[in-house]
Every structure is written in structure tokens, then in C-alpha cells.
Amino acid sequence: MPNPLFDTLFGQHQGKTTSFLQMADGSTITHNDFLELAAQYANLLVQLGVQPGDRIAVQVAKSPQAVAVYAACVQAGIVFLPLNTAYTADEVSYFAENSGARLILCDGKRSEALEPVAKACGATLETMNADGSGSFAMQADVMPSRFSTVERSKDDLAAFLYTSGTTGRSKGAMLTQGNLLSNCKALASEWRFTAADSLLHALPIFHTHGLFVATNITLLAGGKLLFLPKFDLDVILDLMPQATTMMGVPTFYTRLLGNERFTRTAAQHMRLFVSGSAPLLAETHVHFEERTGHRILERYGMTETNMNTSNPYDGERRPGTVGFPLPGVEIKITDSNTGETVPQGEIGEIEVRGPNVFKGYWQMPEKTAEELRPNGFFITGDLGQIDEDGYLHIVGRSKDLIISGGYNIYPKEIELLLDEEEGVLESAVIGVPHPDFGETVVGILVAEGKADLDLDGIKKRIGASLARFKHPQRLVVLPELPRNTMGKVQKKELREQFKDIFMPALSPSPNAPLT
């Protein structure tokens, strides 16, 4: 029976003894062995009472077995819900309850903490450890290695991904088979993936980047994953001669550049380096090309849409931009108040429409209606502009927009100037409460090495390029910027940390004793 996502990504490899997953120690798992394992898992899921359309919440370490659980869900028509391994039991409780998960799969070390969670939401609890052992694997061992694929259509749900919840409770983005399949087909074509590719995979698989981009593309093309549990610089450098491609977050590339082993020779076998999930500094882009001769390819995506745009494979990969819409994807920049498209070059809210755009938020019809227009355009919450050559620039999140004295201030404009200052490794610009202006600008800096930053000098120099209302009222140096697991700077944490620096202290009560 047809199941578009399984048939296209997994089913095509039935019976093939080609290598799919290669571990750091050199051991490999063939496509066929992987599919037999996935079939055993699918049979077990059915035996445990999980039916097509049900959700399973998976909070396990990255492993071949964890990927096989994903494949099993696709084959059995079950909605796959991967969860960050750092989430606490309270956080998992929300996701499991909100999604109506029928099964929770966790590391054995977490089972005691999650037993009450599973009981409270009526879910079965099974374990899977980093080495593939656990109650789930033990039961699957005796299951048949063949499974009759469940019929699905492109409109059926394949996965839930929960948003980070920076502006309230996390929302469950419903992704269909068609969403995932259309996106990996577009990316594999645009990025020229073939069966000859070996991709260095050091990303987590609870996130769209590591699972629905890196893994799905490699499956579609029939290539191999050099599958690492995490980013280990020495292991990456050891395996790079065997690789042709790598996907990573900006931190991967800055760490590579900080190691003298990473040379033009070390990267000579590579044909493509892709960066995403957080903005790549233009300086990193330039240094990387100087060191290796390669230009990193940046793209733009999000939980609700997977990938939307990409710098070109052939053509100029422009630093500071995320390129052009992928085939079949439409991008427009709109006025956040009116919804009307703004003139090219002006800053506005990024909206996207295409087969990659999610179905809506689980059990949140009002929120879905707020962010998903009747005409199919999704209001991303990102601010951007399209330059004269058609490249998309991400300016920031709409919630990060600073309104000071009635003027709109876009943090990215100031961050670009701060990042160019000598001794500044990176920066983050935030708005904080101010008694006169409502909000005002604060710049957070991270020094390069042991550089001693002249904050007054920096303020004066960047001030020459900015209208007065954009000037940072305060510059602060921190050892590092707070980031999430995918490397995105957490400006909400910074705003909370510095929210009171301009606000007057509460006046003492008139009845307070004098001291």
C-alpha cells in the first residue's frame, strides 16, 4: 500500500547492502539491516497498542536505533514526536499531555522520573539507551523483521515538532508527509546530493536540521551518514577525509577555524559545507573561505516550515544573507500592521507559502488562525528584507524589534557594526525598559580572546554610522552569549537579565524609618 514518505526515503533501499550509517569506530549499518530493525520496531509499536495517527514522544540519545524508531513510525503511520534530551520531567509532561502521546520512549536513567508522567497521561513507558539497549529493544528483538507498510497520503501527519516557547507555551507544529517529502526533494536537488555523498552528521536528531534535513536528504539520495553522537572536533577532523558534505550550526565552523589541524588540505575532499539554525557571522564566512577555499552555504528554515530559502549551490553565496526561495516556495515581506507587501528593500515581516508549510498548531485553532493566513501564507515572526539582487536578509525576530521613543530599531543593524569592531567576537542587541523612551538599546559584547574592549570608543565609532535614537545607551561585556542547543542566542534571557538597569529603584515608603 502507498506510503509516500516511507516508500521514497526508506522503501527504495529494501534489500540493499549499501552502507547507510557509519559510526566513529568505523562500524557500519547497511540500508537493509537498518530497515529490518525499523520493521521490528514497527511490529512492536503495533503490539504495544500504538495505532496509525497516534503520537509517540521520544526522548532518547542520538543513536542508529533512535533513527530506526523514526523510520518505524513512518512505516506504521504513527506521528513521531522527538524531544530535546535536556528537557526536564515537567517539560516532558507538558509535551506528552498536550500531544496525547500513547507511548513515551526514554533513556533508562530517566524512567523513574518519567513513570509518573506516563501514568498521568495514560501512556506506556519504554526505555532505549544510547547503546540501543533497553526494554523497547529487548522486546523488539523477537519481532519479525518484515512489516506491512501502513497506507498513508501526503496529507497525513508524520511528525510533531514543538516550538521553543519563547513567547508562551510551546506549540506543536503538525508536519505532514508531504511537508517533509517536498522539502527534502527540493534540498537534495538544489544541493546536488547523490548516492556518492557521505555526510558528516554531528547534529542532534530531535531537531529539524539533523533529522528532517540531513537524514532525510541522505536517505533520499541513497548516500551515507558518518553518524556521530555529538560534535567532537578531533573525530570530525579524523573523518573529514572520508566525507563529501557537512551540515552544522555556526559553532561547528568557529570551532573548526580555531584548530590548526583544519587546513585547506583537510577540507579538500569536501564539496559542500552547510550552516543553519542560527545566523553565521560574515567574519566567519570570510575566514572560512580564506582558510579552505570553500564558501559556506547558508539557508533559512524554521520548525513550522523546515527549509524556506538557500544560497545558491552554483553562484554567489552572499555572506549575511540566506539566499533565494527554494523551488515551489514563495517569500514575501509584509507590513506587520496591514499585511500588505512592502517595497523591495524595505524591512518587514517574512511570510512564506509552499508545500513545506505545516498544517497548523496541534489543538490551537486560534493560534493557527493568527499565524497561518487563509491564502496559505505563514507569518514567520521573522523580520527581513530582499535586496536588489533578490537575496533575503534576516534582520531579526519581530519580538526582538526595539521601539524607542516611537522609533523602530532593528537590532541586526547595530549588531553588524558592533561585530566589526576590533576585539569583538560577537554581539547581541536588545531592548530594555526605559523611563523616558519606553525602551532603549543595550549592546551585549563578547570579547575575542583576552581583548580589553574600549566601550566608550566603540560607542563613539558606531554612533557615527547610526541615527542618534539607535545609539546603544549601554554596552556590557559578557564571557559568552546564552544559547539554546542549536546555537541560537537567547535574547529573552538577556532581556530578563538587564531589564532593570535603567529603571529607577522603587521609592521607599513615606512611613519607612530614616537611617
Q: pLDDT tens digit string along 460-495?
A: 999 888 878 889 999 999 999 998 877 788 888 999
The band of 336, judged by pLDDT with boundaries at 50, 70 and 90, is: confident
| Least trusted range by pLDDT, from 29-38, 409-418, 454-463 | 409-418
Which amino acid is located at 356 in the chain?
N
The band of 515, judged by pLDDT with boundaries at 50, 70 and 90, is: very low
**Three-state SS for 511?**
coil
The pLDDT mean for the chain works out to 92
Q: Residue 173 gets which letter from DSSP?
A: E
- Kindly list the structural domains of the chain, giving each domain's residue range(s) and its CATH number in brackets, ordered by start: 1-17+27-152 (3.40.50.980), 401-497 (3.30.300.30)
Taking only the tens place, the pLDDT of each residue in 52-73 is: 999 999 999 999 999 999 999 9
| Least trusted range by pLDDT, from 83-87, 276-280, 374-378, 450-454 | 276-280
Q: What is the pTM of this model?
A: 0.84
pLDDT for residue 406: 67
92: cell is 516532558
pLDDT for residue 504: 64
Taking only the tens place, the pLDDT of each residue in 99-121 is: 999 999 999 999 999 999 999 99
Taking only the tens place, the pLDDT of each residue in 166-204 is: 445 789 999 999 999 999 999 999 999 999 999 999 999
296: cell is 559556506
Instruction: State the chain's maximal CA–CA distance in angstroms.
Output: 85
Cα torsion through 341, 329, 364, 177, rounded to 10: 170
Buried residues in 215-226 as b, exposed as e (16+ CB within 10 A)? bbbbbbbbbbbb
Please report where in the chains the cell 542547543 appears, as a residue: 485
Which helix (H) or strand (E) element contains residue 249? none
Q: Is the pLDDT of residue 511 over 70?
A: no
Taking only the tens place, the pLDDT of each residue in 303-332 is: 999 999 999 999 999 998 999 999 999 999
